[in-house]
Amino acid sequence: MSDPGVLEIPDLGPAEWFSWVEERGWGDGLPTVPPTEDLVDAMLAALPSDLPEFGPLPPSRLVPAPRAVAANAVMAGCRPLDLPTVLAALAGVQQDAYNLHGTLATTHPCAPLIVVSGPVRERLGLNGAGNCFGSGTRANAVIGRALSLILLNLAGARPPAMDRSTQGSPAKYTYCFAENTGDSPWEPFGVRRGFDADESVVTVLAAEPPHNINDHGSTTGEGILTTIAGTMAQPGSNNVYVRGPHLLVLGPEHATTLHRDGWTVEAIRRALWERARIPVDAVSEGNRRQFTEWGIEPDGDHYTVSTGPEQLQVLVAGGAGKHSAWIPSFGATEAVSVRVPGG
């Protein structure tokens, strides 16, 4: 008698498997690894003893069983050692503050961003240096992709029936990177989120793709903050009228200059809250009316970005080159941090 928890699939070659999956509406449009029983069993053998408890995933209301999570991790290309980090990310997006249902159904292009802190970064070979948002590192690619596949295949967040994103973004395939503590002059992000330095931590946020901040000319922290504030002060962001958290990922060279000039993380947050202001006349009349309907009024002759300095999360990632990134969020979400089980 076959196990009702095991899906029987025919013996297919790679190209046939790709087509078979596509016909059933599984996956993300890219080739996947067939989740054979041996591969899923090997993945399940890596389950930590302190496994998080999962509730029903919206909109399907399915409770993700360990075997189903492991199968999606296999499909994404994960190794067994990647699974605990995937589980932590899944636990994070299930917290009420993250607003999983809203972030899956919105027309906004947000995707589940995963920031990894702590010792697991080196253990998995996660990239927090050059091209950390891009291609080339297996752990970054497959961990973010595994979470996306779980939300597609188990939660049912498939476009266009559930995922109503107007344009979407490449971040919906995978969006995972590590913080660069080696080149950061400040306390690690995971520690500032309330965890011990020897704990591995995943922070999830429903976020847009990175907005590049190019500043090769400024030689002072003051100058760099002027450029960052100008990048953040744009009227098309949800952070203007939906509010909520947003993320500043400083490249190491910008971080070094800011630290040299005496800037702490808290001082950076306060300065950008005060300086990243959007002139009222840069906002259309229609948007001003909508902002008012949402209870958002200008502060004098400017609109603010979000509700205060505490909403801006700051960390260091990336490699050489004088670039940083601002990452706005869906707005109606929170940054949620979860300890990686077993790690």
Give per-residue pLDDT as tens, 270-312.
Answer: 999 999 999 999 999 999 999 999 999 999 999 999 999 999 9
Q: Are 193 and 107 in contact (CB under 8 A)?
A: no
Q: Are 314 and 179 in contact (CB under 8 A)?
A: no
What is the C-alpha to C-alpha distance for residues 48 and 40, in angstroms, rounded to an integer? 15
- Residue-range domain boundaries for the chain: 1-208+333-343, 210-327
pLDDT at 342: 85
pLDDT at 8 over 90: no
The pTM of this model reads 0.95
* Angle (deg, nearest 10), helices 265-275 and 221-232: 50
> For all residues of the chain together, what is the average pLDDT?
95
- CA-to-CA dists, residue 51 to 44, 220, 342, angstroms: 11, 47, 8
pLDDT tens, residue by residue, 26-60:
899 999 999 999 999 999 998 988 888 899 999 99
Residue with the larger pLDDT of the pair 25 and 224: 224
Q: Are 162 and 168 in contact (CB under 8 A)?
A: no
pLDDT at 2: 46
pLDDT at 324: 98
Instruction: Categorize the per-residue pLDDT at 122 as very low, low, confident or very high, splitting at 50, 70 and 90.
Output: very high
Instruction: Categorize the per-residue pLDDT at 1 as very low, low, confident or very high, splitting at 50, 70 and 90.
Output: very low
